[in-house]
Amino acid sequence: MAETPISPAAPPPAAAIRLEAVTKRYRGQAEPAVDALTLEVRPRELLVMVGPSGCGKTTTLRLINRLLDADEGWITVDGEDTASLDPDALRTRIGYVIQQVGLFPHMTVAENVATVPRVLGWDRARIARRAEELLELLGLDPADFGDRFPRELSGGQAQRVGVARAMAADPPILLMDEPFGSLDPITRARLQDELLRIQGSLAKTILLVTHDIDEAIKLGDRIAIVDRGARALQVAAPERVLSDPADDYVREFVGSGAALRRLGLLRVRELEPGHWPALPRAAERHVVRDELIASGRPAALLLDEAGRPWRWVTARELERGGEPGTEPGVPASAELTPAATLHEALDAIVRGGVGAAAAVGDGGALHAIVDLEAIMAAADPSRPSQRTAGGEEAGLVRS
Amino acid sequence: MAAPPAPATVETAPTASSGARRVLAGLALPISLAIVTALLLLWLAAQPLDSIERRQLDLGVLARRLVEHLELTLLSTAIVVALAVALGIALTRPRLRPLAPLGVAVANIGQAVPSIGLLVLIAIVAGIGPDKAILALVAYSFLPILRNTLVGLGGVDRSLIEAGRGMGMSVWQTLRRVELPLAVPVILAGVRTALAINVGTATLATFVDGGGLGDTITAGIRLGRETVLVAGAALTAVLALALDWAAGWIESALRPRGLDP
Ligand SMILES: Nc1ncnc2c1ncn2[C@@H]1O[C@H](COP(=O)(O)OP(=O)(O)OP(=O)(O)O)[C@@H](O)[C@H]1O
Ligand SMILES: [Mg+2]
């Protein structure tokens, strides 16, 4: 290499959790539940482990917090070999959301949340303050829910409390075993959004387990696709798993909807905007018509005085003219934002009926016009990814 | 636009008067027991008594025997609770769990032997006196509490223990804060059974010179004085019902809130 040495690459961040060739065999079982699993969870990332039922996901989590001891291999947490740590002390550092939620039925919501702080011997006032803070963080009014018993909660509320309980002592690491299992799709999506919001501000190291590939794609910074024996087949960013599955098993697991799923990962602001005519509504009719014909598009977007999408008009509607007092064309929806996913954009396009949809920025002014061509171009996996780590949030602020 | 009529809300919270009614219902038994006792005493006072009867039915004597009976019952129950619950806890720990059937089998022997036989056996081996009577009562009422402790602790949802342990609670903390509170209703049901057994069986303590209302009853039989016999039997019955009522009250008071009502 002739070039002058570039600045030395930053050392790879030490893994927050590291499993090295870990094997666990339950007594009386022929196949190991976890078979030589090697996996690394990076600090502050949300890694989702996804695989079919019975493939050893829960076992993996229980090995990490030493509810189980590995038969072979070793596990480190923050660089420390867990085998050398006191299990109880280790567990108070690792939040754990169990698969069955497992709220203590004889304790109130606040008492449930206070479990770990009590173990750690916090004083009463601090525990009470912390419980309130967490319930609020998870969208539960402490005054209403604090004194309820678990049987007085809905499934979604119980799962929120389960997450709050795991986070009570502010552990740097969270293990979450299907934290949103057995919920209806709407509640599930809302809880997922909230987890993303919380993770956006707290940046914990999270290993989350699910058997739902859509959940994995939505939540994961990276996802680990595992098969029987928790064998990791591919560990990569969701984008990568969808566009470039490691093998046929992953391809099958990701399913035939992979292209559509990719739309859920891409954002409107990452699109090449389509070239559609957009003119102020005060423009002369023939000007609009000429532009429309020149563009070769089926419709033009008229903007109001503030530059907000107003109505879509076609050439025919312009020619026919309108009876006095009626507006030409159809109202333009202005629901789409640059942060919307292409999934949502596609939905807006199909609903709008003109083959395109207007995306609006702050204040409702037109940001870009999105059409099918742009979506298809972005979703084409043969094109290099436009999604860059970190750039997304910056883009949101700027747009 | 006309607003749709707001749906009428139905008030289902218990009203004050229904709460008061519940308290009255709870007090029905002790009140009727007090009435029965008062009637018994009035009846005794109205009887023409000879000197033997008067000695046996002296209020001081009756009260002493009642207290002895209560002591036998409560002491033996307290001891059996401590021992059987401790053994039950030990036998539900993972390492000792295989021994649980053995524990139940041994406790079963205590209950399978007829109570009077057990008492005599203990008297032959260890001698007589109230402490020997208590020993017999303990052996005799061990099984229900041991069995209910095993059932109660065994019935605690594994995932709750897993949740506790997984969050860093020690084995001891998990037992104290999760397993025992959840097993309390079942264990207390066993305690109530043991109490009922002991208050009845304590009448046999008289045969090993253990005191109690059994003294009054046997005196009534031995001396052929029916009033004495009736007084002893009635007081035993009143005591048994009162204790069972108190145990039921404690049972519901100690039942953790949050479990199904
Ligand atoms: N305590 C146990 N004793 C024996 N075998 C067990 C035990 N727990 C789990 N297994 C077995 O180990 C394998 C992995 O179980 P695990 O619970 O880790 O699966 P999972 O991926 O979490 O499944 P799910 O998605 O259904 O929760 C399964 O075949 C299961 O039957
Ligand atoms: Mg599982």
Average pLDDT over residues A106-121: 96
Q: What percent of chain B has pLDDT over 70?
A: 92
Asked if residue B114 lies in contact with residue B144, where contact means CB atoms within 8 angstroms, the answer is no
Closest to A98 (Cβ–Cβ): which among B159, B168, B182? B159
Cα-Cα-Cα-Cα torsion B228, B230, B233, B239, nearest 10 degrees, comes to -90
Least confident of A230-244, A317-331, A376-390: A376-390
pLDDT value at residue B2 = 44
Identify the residue among B165, B167, B255 best suited for mutation to test binding to A, counting A beta carbons within 10 A and taking the highest.
B167
Pick from B156, B174, B149, B154: nearest CA to B164? B174
A218-236 pLDDT, tens digit per residue, is: 899 999 999 999 999 999 9
* Residue B154 predicted with pLDDT over 60: yes
CB-ligand 1 contact for A328 (6 Å cutoff): no
Return d(Cα B130, Cα A262) in angstroms, integer.
Answer: 82
Pick from A218, A198, A219, A197: nearest CA to A207? A219
CATH architecture for residues B51-259: Orthogonal Bundle (1.10)
Return d(Cα A131, Cα B133) in angstroms, integer.
Answer: 53
What average pLDDT does chain A have? 87
Q: Give chain A positions within 8 Å (CB) of B94.
A: none
> What is the helix (H) or strand (E) element at residue B29, kind and residue range?
helix B16-46
Least confident of A237-241, A258-262, B137-141: A258-262
Average pLDDT over residues A234-249: 91
Q: Which ligand is nearest to the CA of A226?
A: 1
Q: Give chain A positions within 8 Å (CB) of B256.
A: 106
pLDDT value at residue B16 = 56
151-190 in chain A: CB under 8 A from chain B: 151, 165-166
Task: Please list, residue by residue across B70-96, b when 16 or more beta carbons sit within 10 angstroms of its beta carbon and e when fewer do.
Answer: bbbbebbbebbbeebbebbbebbeeee
| DSSP per-residue codes, A8-37 | PPPPPPPPSEEEEEEEE--TT-SS-SEEEE
Average pLDDT over residues B212-239: 93
pLDDT value at residue B4 = 46
Average pLDDT over residues A188-193: 88
* Residue A351 predicted with pLDDT over 50: yes
Q: Specify the residue with its C-alpha closest to ligand 1, atom 3.
A: A26
184-243 in chain B: CB under 8 A from chain A: none
Edge-to-edge strand list for the sheet holding A173-177: A94-97, A173-177, A205-210, A46-50, A222-227, A231-236
Q: Is A104 on the interface with B (CB under 8 A)?
A: yes
Min Cα distance A177 → chain B (Å) is 11
The 10 Å Cβ neighbour count of residue B61 is 15
B50-101 pLDDT, tens digit per residue, is: 888 888 889 899 999 999 999 999 999 999 999 999 999 999 998 998 998 8
Q: Is A122 on the interface with B (CB under 8 A)?
A: no
What's the ipTM? 0.82
pLDDT value at residue A273 = 81
Task: Please list, residue by residue across A11-32, b when 16 or more beta carbons sit within 10 angstroms of its beta carbon and e when fewer do.
Answer: eeeebbbbbbebbbbeeeeeeb
Higher pLDDT, A349 or A399: A349
Average pLDDT over residues A236-252: 90
Return d(Cα A298, Cα A201) in angstroms, integer.
Answer: 44
How many contacts does A have with B, using Cβ atoms within 8 A? 69
Higher pLDDT, B24 or A350: A350
The 10 Å Cβ neighbour count of residue A385 is 16
Q: What percent of chain A has pLDDT over 90?
A: 58
What pTM, to 2 d.p., does this model score?
Answer: 0.78
Burial class (CB in 10 A: 0-12, 13-18, 19+), A124: exposed
